[in-house]
Amino acid sequence: MKKRDTGLEGIIEYFGKVKNEFEGEFELESIAEKIAAIPTLIDAVKKLVFPEILEDYLEYFDFIVVFFDSCKNETFLKENIQDVYDSVNLLASGLEEIKERIEGLQGFCPCCGKEVYYSAKDGQCKNCTSSRRDRLVSLFLKKISLSTATEETSVLQIAPTPVIDAYINLWCPLIKYESLNAFQTDLTFKEDTEKLKQKEDKSYDLIILSKLAIDKLSEGGFLENLKRILKDDGEIVILAELGDLEDSDNPEISSISEKIIASLNANFYLTELGIEYFGQEDFEKSGLACSSLLTVLTKTKLEDFYKGFRPVINKDLIENGPLVSVIMPAYNHEKYVRRAIESVINQSYKNIEFIVCDDASTDKTTEIMKEYSKYYKKEFYFKENLRGRIPFLAKEASGKYIALMHSDDVWDKDKLAIQIDYLEKNGGISLTWAYYLRDDGETTGDAVFFEKNRSRTQWLKYLWENSNCFCNPSSVMKREIFLEEQKHGLACRQLPDFFKWVDYLCKYDLHLICLPLTYLGVHYTGDNKNESAPTDDNIYRTSVEEGFVWMQVLEDMEDTLFAAAFKDLFRRKEATSREELMCERYFLLLDSEKTAQQTSAIFYMHRHYSEIIDCLKEKYNYIKADFMQDELKKGFMQFLDKKDTIVKK
């Protein structure tokens, strides 16, 4: 993992310049000027360094500040010039040591999925407060691919830790997940045991036990119930390390721990997973000690703990499947375009025509793309940047299916094989789960694309209530569908893809392949900053576009589809007539929590008032006076300043 700046780099560089002043014939005045800044720099260091590291150096820093303050006296400086040089060297070495210690605490937390610094004192992630044990369990859940496990997979966490609970809820949308809040202060152990007794035999594929739950293993019936409700090929994961139980200083606890461990050995196979299983890189990124071990209990001796969905690759389809046109526009992506191209040409699916263009890049994108010319069916290099080259490339395609690729993204090698197999059997449009991929090659902890499949009407309601969860460059569909003219959102800058999916859902089934087969390049800073980067302008524009385009979508949507998708949100669930459904469209917009949707409701009413005036009064008890109040209280109108209403003549 690429190390982040600690904030000390510039200060260390400054000390290098100070040391250089002593080489050859130095000027005392210049040295005096540079060391005069050292006390201020040390104050900056104190603010940058974690308190648990800083405390080891505070006494030395206080001493050295006094010494350098004394150097403001020219006579003192002359008489102690060698000590000054030695002190600068020692201080520079100390800062390098601090920097290395901080870098040693850098990591990529598997619980929250973010780049973090771990606490030097207790190893906690400073972002999500996960402990080392939390991260070890999260690594295991990731290793067994629990995120892609199907709905038949059942998981129980007993005495749940908040971090593991959050991880499962974020990254594992498909599984059946339960938690038993056992051993809390308002529950007795007897009550907890009774709850376990009510569980059916062989109910769970995976059971996670917190340290609090482990302490109860010696109490009657608990262990037997765990074994009973665990499936024959299931696992029990223990958050605490068994060695911690054995090494207790309390003789009573140590005695109980010996009984627990003996009982576990009598009932289960014990497997201890360490750095060899997880890999050194993941251990280091997760801030784990090389000696860390995770205990897993099984009824039978298992070689593979894998829980995720493993697709069967259709080998005949790979060799003889229909032609797929992969289209890829590029612009100023010299850092990324090579990996994008290679992830296409290395697909296990063979019948591909690769069509690319460069939209007048000013960097080395064109030169890199031309290195792979033998793999292209067609290639275009434009002299003028017009943006929006995807429609052009799509018209050049001749395949049965079109797959969109972005020049800063990466595909899993089996992506097309899995999607084409699905489409050949089911039709519709196929997308995949995706990770965000940073410039340093790390994926981020955003699970925005990790959703379970829904029906068309369920998806429409989901998109109304939530943001986009479809990864555009993961999509594959028939050529004729791809070439259809988009009806809504073409004027959008932030949400054209979002409303493309809304349009498609009005006519076609969309199916997610619940595997992260696409890696979406994300750049929030620099020259390659994404258009979707969360800047203030983009956030405001997104709000406006969402409000007004949804109004158009709802106006154009067939009544039967509208009712099927949004009936749960109707003011009158029994609404069926054309006029009633027009009223429901108005109230759906008006009742939204989003300001732009409320504003579009006001516009909608002004457009359709004469058509629905009678229905509003008779069926909804909503009259013009009510609308006049909503006109003032809802949407952007509530934020208007009086000066906005003044027209100068």
Residue 216 has pLDDT above 80, yes or no: no
**Per-chain mean pLDDT for the chain:** 88
Question: Measuring CA to CA, how many Å separate 596 from each of 90, 602, 612, 613, 641?
Answer: 60, 10, 22, 23, 17
Q: Please give the pLDDT value at position 197.
A: 82
pLDDT digits (tens, 9 = 90+) for 262-289: 888 888 999 999 999 999 989 988 999 8
Residue 186 has pLDDT above 50, yes or no: no
Q: Which residue type, as a one-letter code, is found at position 568?
A: D
Instruction: Give, for 327, the enclosing helix (H) or strand (E).
Output: strand 324-330
> Could you write out the DSSP letters of every residue in 268-288?
SEEEEE-HHHH-HHHHHHTT-
Residue 252 has pLDDT above 80, yes or no: no
Residue 9 has pLDDT above 70, yes or no: yes
Q: Please give the pLDDT value at position 315.
A: 95
**CA dist., res. 623 & res. 583, Å (int):** 12
State the maximum Cα–Cα separation within the chain, in Å, rounded to a whole number.
99
Residue 641 has pLDDT above 80, yes or no: no
Q: Please give the pLDDT value at position 191.
A: 58
Lowest mean pLDDT among 348-352, 546-550, 584-588, 639-643: 639-643
Place of tokens 């940047």: 385
Residue 195 has pLDDT above 80, yes or no: no
Q: Residues with Cβ < 8 Å from 624, sequence gap 6 or more?
A: 613
Place of tokens 């154009």: 556
Residue 281: alpha-carbon gap to chain centroid: 20
From the list 571, 567, 609, the residue with the least C-alpha distance to 590 is 571
Q: CB burial class (10 A; 0-12, 13-18, 19+) of residue 644?
A: exposed
Residue 218 has pLDDT above 70, yes or no: no
Question: Measuring CA to CA, how many Å separate 560 from each of 557, 608, 628?
Answer: 8, 19, 30
**CA dist., res. 531 & res. 523, Å (int):** 9
Q: Please give the pLDDT value at position 249.
A: 53
pTM for the complete prediction? 0.82
The stretch 293-302 carries a mean pLDDT of 92
Q: What percent of the chain has pLDDT over 70?
A: 90
Q: Please give the pLDDT value at position 188.
A: 47
Residue 215 has pLDDT above 90, yes or no: no
Looking at per-residue pLDDT, the higher value among 191 and 195 belongs to 195
Q: Which residue type, as a one-letter code, is found at position 495?
A: L
Place of tokens 């809304």: 502
pLDDT digits (tens, 9 = 90+) for 456-502: 999 999 999 998 999 999 999 999 999 999 999 888 888 889 999 99
Tokens of 313: 């690759």
pLDDT digits (tens, 9 = 90+) for 342-390: 999 999 999 999 999 999 999 999 999 999 999 999 999 999 988 889 9
The stretch 200-219 carries a mean pLDDT of 82
Annotate 225-251 with b (16+ C-beta within 10 A) or e (fewer). bbbebbbeebbbbbbbbbeebeeeeee
Listed ranges 65-74, 174-183, 185-194, 510-519; the one with the highest mean pLDDT? 510-519
Write the DSSP symbol of residue 200: P
Q: Which band of pLDDT confidence, cut at 50, 70 and 90, is reported for residue 193? A: low
Residue 443: alpha-carbon gap to chain centroid: 8
Listed ranges 24-28, 62-66, 404-408; the one with the highest mean pLDDT? 404-408
Q: Please give the pLDDT value at position 187.
A: 45
The stretch 424-447 carries a mean pLDDT of 89
**CA dist., res. 199 & res. 597, Å (int):** 46
CA end-to-end distance (rounded Å), the chain:
64
Residue 533 has pLDDT above 80, yes or no: no
